[in-house]
Amino acid sequence: MSLLTVLHYPDPGLRKRAQTVTSIDESIRILARDMLETMYAQRGIGLAATQVSIPLRVVVMDLSEDRNAPQIFINPEILTTEGIGEGEEGCLSVPGFFDKVPRAQRITFQYQDLDGRLIAAPAEALLAICMQHEIDHLNGKLFIDYLSRLKRQRLRKKIGKAERDPAPVL
Ligand code: GNR
Ligand code: NI
């Protein structure tokens, strides 16, 4: 088991489009396991491989209260969407920042499991929101891209400042 480093905005790695997984082999199993470990360590409910510098279409999630229901989605794709709603979102790659994002309320999506089986399923509520958030990551998109220019400018200013003035070493 190994913990992976989660990239933070504005790291350019977060803007890469992830490639389709063509062979679900041992390396993908290890990646999924390490991503779950990393997600649990950071108290996230989902994680996309692009966030840990691996440009492959792999997503992990655990939406359960008890943090004991890991889910792995290979090559997830949205098939249909219905309705529109707004929910508060956060992202492990934009720590400490939360805002409302418009998302489809209900979706159907497909993915492959670790055995390569193609599965189609409906989603609503938190699963629908999180699946859209994670598939955006695989396409190099972040939830802050949906904010107004003003809000994004304010966020960039806040983060830019922190990066320009690093804490002095001793
Ligand atoms: O932990 C997370 N919480 C969350 C809350 C609302 C909408 C989406 C998310 S996903 C986020 C983890 C993450 O950054 N996944 O990419
Ligand atoms: Ni995220």
From 84, 89, 81, select the one nearest 147 (Cα to Cα). 89
What domain range includes position 113?
Answer: 12-164
Single pTM value for the model: 0.94
CA 87 to ligand 1 centroid distance, Å: 11
Ligand nearest to the CA of 48: 1
- CATH of residue 120: 3.90.45.10
Helix (H, G, I), strand (E, B) or coil at 53: coil
Residue 114 lies in a domain: yes
Residue 169 lies in a domain: no
For residues 142 and 94, the answer to whether their CB atoms sit within 8 Å is: yes
Residue 49 lies in a domain: yes
Residue 48 lies in a domain: yes
Position 1 scores a pLDDT of 84
Position 161 scores a pLDDT of 64
Give how many domains the chain has, as a whole number.
1
From 26, 46, 20, 22, select the one nearest 35 (Cα to Cα). 46
Q: Is the CB of 129 under 6 A from ligand 1?
A: yes
> Phi first, then psi: what are they for 56, rounded to 5°?
-125, 150
- Chunked mean pLDDT (size 10), the chain, 170 residues: 95 97 98 98 98 98 98 98 97 96 98 98 98 98 96 89 56
Give the other-Cβ count within 10 Å of 131's Cβ: 24
CA 170 to ligand 1 centroid distance, Å: 35
Residue 103 lies in a domain: yes
Q: Whose CA is nearest to atom 11 of ligand 1?
A: 91
Position 160 scores a pLDDT of 78
Position 170 scores a pLDDT of 59
